[in-house]
Amino acid sequence: MLAAARCIVRRDLLLALRRPSDVATALLFFVIVASLFPLGVGAEPNLLRAIAPGVIWVAALLSSMLSLGRLFAADHADGTLEQMLLGVSPLGVVAAAKVFTHWLVSGLPLVAIAPLIALQYDLPQSLYGTLALSLLLGTPVLSLIGAIGAALTLGLRGGGVLLALLVLPLYVPVLIMGAGSVDMAAAGLSPAGQLQLLAALLVLAAAFAPWAIATALRISTE
Amino acid sequence: MNWHSATEFFAMGGYGIYVWSAYAATAGVLALEAGFALRRRRRALAAARERQA
Amino acid sequence: MSTVIRWFWFASPQTFFPLAGTAARWSAAIAALLAAAGLYVGFFVAPTDAQQGEAYRIIFIHVPAAWMSMVIYLAMAFWAALGWVLNARMASMLARALAPSGMVFTLIALWTGAVWGKPAWGTWWVWDARLTSELILLFLYIGYLALTEAIDDPKRADRAGALVAIVGAVNVPVIYFSVKWWNTLHQGASVSLTAAPTMAHAMLLAMLLMTFAFWAYAFAVVFMRARAIVLERECGAAWVRGLSNPAIGLPT
């Protein structure tokens, strides 16, 4: 089982690295969206400092969602997905491995870039740790939940927007907890509560999402 | 009895426009929904009849 | 002699069809009666509210609509799951019929909430926990409808919808509590739109009557829609061909 997972992770990583533009565009989207807000609301430093956690989180959420389309589409198009469905390894393991790789390539870089965006918003440096930790815990949850939507909308017309419609309501708790943790830290209170809730969401998602993704893949390909 | 005249009833203590627009919108939307459901039923019947023909 | 409960008697579209027709007509009549009673009590018996004056009377459609929107979502998820697990297409068709009604009630709850918010709190929209959760519920309904409408194959559409509905239903408590927490953090509206500290009995009665009126109305419309869906999907079946034969008579 682990061998299969390792194999899939290696394969997907290799494929992603061969097409760096796919990965880079999602990350650039994150930066661009975050840069748009000051242009829209004005450059007043206090305002920007106040909205920074929310803006960074929303931008991360949207960027993560945009890259979901790639998750199963290529394999579905060339028939690899059907092979995975027919294969020996449990589909849940396959799905979890694919989502993990997707997160490595689309979610983890966001954690690294977020402090740069925080610089733009003049967020106090003491909050960078909380921000990074909240994103580190939250982006995997986004990938896991988003993968369910990606599996359900495989091959449908209007795919991208439909995926967004399905998945964004489910993202709300993650967004609230994630941005909320940084807000709490900014107010001088402990963000531990929100971060622990995020961790709980991560554990729940990691436990149940692979099953849901596998079921969705079966529904979409039969 | 709460209301001493019809005018009082429609005025709703100054909030008439809010109360009545809310009720009107609700009635309108429910009527529209029923209408759509009826239309769907009629279309389904017509299609079934056509297949028969 | 033992009596056997035929659990799955109405799982057949053929037997469900006439039952739904009768039920729809009766439900419509009951809805009209209950609505008349509820509105009478609401407007002519219930006293004026001390804080909000007459504007509070919107509560008699706002709260029942909100309750219906939540009940229907649960029912939709239940029937969709049942249809999936038992491979019973009538259950799935019922779930598909429930969705538009649920969305309509959610829209009514949001709209009346906004119209109530203006005289009561001065703004058209209040980011309190319940209204915000209601807004997210609307997005969940729209997602279900969009997905099921985008898939042509009925079986795939039913199953995909069932998964979406179940995942949504499981998430609704999580969403509600996170929104509630978010609301307290950001010092939202200090009074919930549905909190009337002491509800006069007449107000509560009117609200309950209107809730049941909406429920009966929902039965009527959902059964009518379910019948249409049955006709659309089962058009090849012999009993449907018999129905639409003018010699036998038009269905009522």
* pLDDT for B19 beyond 80: yes
In this predicted structure, what is the pLDDT of residue C188? 47
Distance CA C176, CA C63 (A): 17
In this predicted structure, what is the pLDDT of residue C196? 52
**Residue type for position A134:** S
Buried b (16+ CB within 10 A) or exposed e, A142-176: bbbbbbbbbbbbbebeebeebbbbbbbbbbbbbbb
Q: Is C164 on the interface with A (CB under 8 A)?
A: yes
Distance from CA of A21 to the nearest CA of C (A): 30
DSSP conformation class of B14? G
Q: Is the ipTM of this complex over 0.85?
A: yes
**Whole-structure pTM value:** 0.91
Q: Which chains reach chain A with 3 or more Cβ–Cβ distances below 8 angstroms? A: C
Distance CA C79, CA C85 (A): 10
Closest partner residue to C104 among B33, B43, B47, by Cβ?
B33
Q: How long, in residues, is chain B? A: 53
* pLDDT for B39 beyond 50: yes
What percent of chain C stands above pLDDT 70? 88
* pLDDT for C121 beyond 90: no
Q: Is C118 on the interface with A (CB under 8 A)?
A: no
Distance from CA of C191 to the nearest CA of A (A): 21
Averaged confidence pLDDT in chain A: 92
Q: Is A205 on the interface with C (CB under 8 A)?
A: no
Q: Is C85 on the interface with B (CB under 8 A)?
A: no
For residues C215-224, give the mean pLDDT: 96
Distance CA A35, CA A128 (A): 18
Whether A176 sits inside 8 A of C160 (CB atoms) is: no
* pLDDT for C190 beyond 50: no
The tokens for A149 are 């939507």
* Residue bearing the bigger pLDDT, C142 or C16: C142
Q: How confident is the model at residue C4 (pLDDT cuts 50, 70, 90)?
A: low
- Tell which C residues from 50 to 109 touch A, by Cβ distance under 8 Å: none
In C, which residues are within 8 Å of B14 by CB distance? 53-54
Distance from CA of C179 to the nearest CA of A (A): 7
Helix (H, G, I), strand (E, B) or coil at C63: helix
Q: How confident is the model at residue C189 (pLDDT cuts 50, 70, 90)?
A: very low
Closest partner residue to B37 among C58, C115, C225, by Cβ?
C225
Contacts of B11 (CB under 8 A, 6+ apart): none
Whether A165 sits inside 8 A of C143 (CB atoms) is: yes
Chain B residue set in contact with C, beta carbons under 8 Å: 1-3, 9, 12-16, 18-19, 21-23, 25-26, 29-30, 33-34, 36-38, 40-41, 43-45, 47-49, 51-52
Question: Concatenated DSSP letters for C217-228?
Answer: HHHHHHHHHHHH
Buried b (16+ CB within 10 A) or exposed e, C75-95: bbbbbbbbbbeeebbbbbbbb
Question: pLDDT tens, C7-23?
Answer: 777 788 888 888 899 99
In C, which residues are within 8 Å of B26 by CB distance? 61, 65, 108, 111-112
Question: pLDDT tens, C100-119?
Answer: 999 999 999 999 999 988 88
The tokens for C65 are 């609509």
Q: Left, alpha or beta for A169 (phi > 0: left; psi -120 to 50: alpha)?
A: alpha
Question: pLDDT tens, A138-158?
Answer: 999 999 999 999 999 998 987
* pLDDT for B13 beyond 70: yes
**Residue type for position A120:** Q
Buried b (16+ CB within 10 A) or exposed e, C22-56: ebbeebbebbeebbebbbebbbeebeebeebbbbb
In this predicted structure, what is the pLDDT of residue B3? 76
Whether A173 sits inside 8 A of C178 (CB atoms) is: yes
What percent of chain B stands above pLDDT 70? 96
Q: Is A165 on the interface with C (CB under 8 A)?
A: yes
Helix (H, G, I), strand (E, B) or coil at B1: coil
Contact of chains B and C by CB distance (3 or more pairs under 8 angstroms): yes
* Residue bearing the bigger pLDDT, C11 or A103: A103
In this predicted structure, what is the pLDDT of residue C126? 77
Helix (H, G, I), strand (E, B) or coil at C53: strand
Distance from CA of C140 to the nearest CA of A (A): 7
